[in-house]
Amino acid sequence: MNKPLFSLIKVSLHALGCLLVVLALTGCESANTDTMSKMKGNLRVALAQKIMLDLRYYCQPEQLIQYRNEQVCRTPMTELPEELAAMIQDSNVGGIILFAENLQSVEQVVKLNHDMQRAAVDSYSGLELFISIDQEGGRVARMPRDLATSFSGNMAIGATQEKSGNYFAEQTGRILGLELSALGFNLNHAPNVDVNVNAENPVINVRSFGEQANLVAELGAAQLKAMQQQGVVGTLKHFPGHGDTSVDSHTGLPRVDHSIEDIIAVDLLPFQTAIDQGLAKMIMTAHIQYPQLDNSTFTTNDGSTMIKPATMSKRILTDLLRGKMGFEGVVITDALDMAGISHFFEPIDAIIETFNAGSDIALMPFRIRKAEDIQLLAQTLDQLELAVAEGRLSQIQVLESVERIFRLKQQLSSDFSENQLSENQAIANGVVGNPAHRQLEQALAEQSLVQVKNEQVLPIQSDQRVHLLMPDLGKCRALEQALKLQNSRLTVTCSDLHQFEYQQTRHHMLQADVFLVANITPKQSAVEMGGMEDIELQARGVQPLSKADQDTQIESLLRLAKDNNKSTIFVSLRAPYEMSRYEQYSDALIATFSYNVHTEDFGSDKNKNNGNVQAVGPAFSALAKLLTGKIIASGRLPVSVERTSDSLTTTTID
């Protein structure tokens, strides 16, 4: 049988199977006891399809460790154990989200996803899982950066828009989709279409394309379309907008007090654009209060009264998103174990509230970490069935929601037969992180560079001595090595803020001709630094500087360098808003929007460094080329930076 005809028959049978399940779920009033019993079983299947689980860690009893008087699991789930395969098959759960801890190699990821899908298609429903990941690029990239193409992120793309239009949005969407599809993912929680209008935003900042809603809408739609053309469903997030918050919803409950006019013109515009273009298949809710959209309240589990977050608001998710904006796709929550929800709701109450509000899928409502936790899923489904029976959850609404999920799943196409596994692994090895993708990754890093100021200190001359002050040791090594690669005659030394010693840094700075400081605002997490330095610091008994102390020390050293006639360069590695603080002490100001580093082993077979392991990152390679005059900066700031003098501008300096 030819392959196109076979695929058509397969898709048709799949669609017919889904239709039969939906018809079985609807039931009828005249059904007898046996039919009602079967309907109850099907209702459970329907409810299970509305759950997406986090399987980041999973432990056998001997793998549990003692932490603060309790046993916890920190063993990454990289192979599917029998009990989790049985859970997927028996429960008919609708989706799984994977994280960096689950992902070690191309072959391993393909097999893990393959095994999970095999368990799913053997279930009663026969429906494939949504296997999802947060692979935005830039700050949020779960696949190991030495394996997969991660790019510099959305604000870097925004910086290229004036010169390159939608090119990098389209190409990053295409490559992210190609690589994820090859790995067995069918759902990516990207792109981020929040409009970042708050310089103090701790969680979005460079994850946004910029501060202009039209720009964000255009680039977001372009990236989404390109990704979905590769067979990976994209998720627009975080509705109705996370761009003007100063609280991270991972740790608290943010509030946005925009007027209705601003909400429509700014926050909602990127979502509306994608809906109007027929691109929006899934939208993720935000755990954020929007009083102008819904000022109704709820009672928290400690008895206090608060305004409902969007995730729990029927006015926002049903009346606004579906009714007024015309969205017909699937609504998924942001993670329900985030503090913006978990501090105020018990897990089952959070699920019921968000389903009643209009969400279709509850993301990460609880954690499966050991065999006993599998019962949490069964207990949750019991409680949800009871909520339907008691009228606290509408059965009609559940079934309408499941129909939306089924319709979206019918658009997924995969082959999970055993004889395809090795073939799929080989294909993925040829696709993921291939040289053409890496070239585009480097091109984005270079073309997104913004040179905001240069008082004739760039390029750095070959006979100059350069001292770097970097956020951590890995970034020291990355820029040192990148500079040496561009100009082997440079003398380069480096201090880092994570293991900061003022007198030593001062000494090196005074011996140098050029003092370059690179900083990350908001401060990077331990995860972003890679974890190794935390161990080193603990062993040495060194406490890293607080962010406030880091900023004070940077300002002091830049001022001292200027007083001693050193050339001073400040590089913003994340959100460029911080430039205004250091502008008066800096002869040059540069924005990269990215700072990520990974290690690569350049073996002797490649004739590089005799097998030395090097710290590398596209942003640092691009920065080194700019500093040594090999390229010019052609990007423009996609956000406004407060000016302290006329020299701080957003114009390109050629």
- Joined together, the tokens standing for residue 14 give 């799949």
Q: What DSSP designation does 206 have?
A: G
3-state secondary structure of 240: coil
Q: For residues 286 and 242, is the Cβ–Cβ distance under 8 A? A: yes
Q: What DSSP designation does 303 have?
A: S
Question: Strand 305-307 to strand 598-601: parallel, antiparallel, or no bridges (unpaired)?
Answer: unpaired
Distance CA 303, CA 305 (A): 7
Distance CA 50, CA 309 (A): 20
Widest CA span in the chain: 90
| DSSP state string for 431-443 | HTT-HHHHHHHHH
- Torsion sign across C-alpha atoms 534, 540, 543, 545: negative
294 catalytically annotated: no
Q: Which residue has the tokens 């005074």?
A: 510
Pick the closest to residue 601 from 98, 125, 4, 146 (CA basis).
146
Q: Which of 134, 267, 294, 334 is catalytic?
A: 334
- Joined together, the tokens standing for residue 330 give 């699937």
Helices (H), 141-230: 154-164, 167-183, 213-228
Distance CA 318, CA 328 (A): 10
Distance CA 6, CA 10 (A): 6
Distance CA 654, CA 652 (A): 6
b vs e for 173-195, b when ≥16 Cβ sit within 10 Å of the residue's Cβ?
bbbbbbbbbbbbbbbbbbbbbbb
- Joined together, the tokens standing for residue 421 give 């596994």
Q: For residues 281 and 232, is the Cβ–Cβ distance under 8 A? A: no
Nearby residues of 276 by Cβ (< 8 Å), 6 or more positions away:
326
Q: What DSSP designation does 124 have?
A: S
Q: Which residue has the tokens 């048709």?
A: 12
Question: Strand 330-332 to strand 450-454: parallel, antiparallel, or no bridges (unpaired)?
Answer: unpaired
Pick the closest to residue 210 from 593, 635, 639 (CA basis).
639
Q: For residues 621 and 474, is the Cβ–Cβ distance under 8 A? A: no
Residue 38: count other Cβ atoms within 10 Å of its Cβ: 13
Distance CA 16, CA 126 (A): 12
Residue 212: count other Cβ atoms within 10 Å of its Cβ: 18
- Joined together, the tokens standing for residue 164 give 């390159």
The catalytic site residues sit at 334
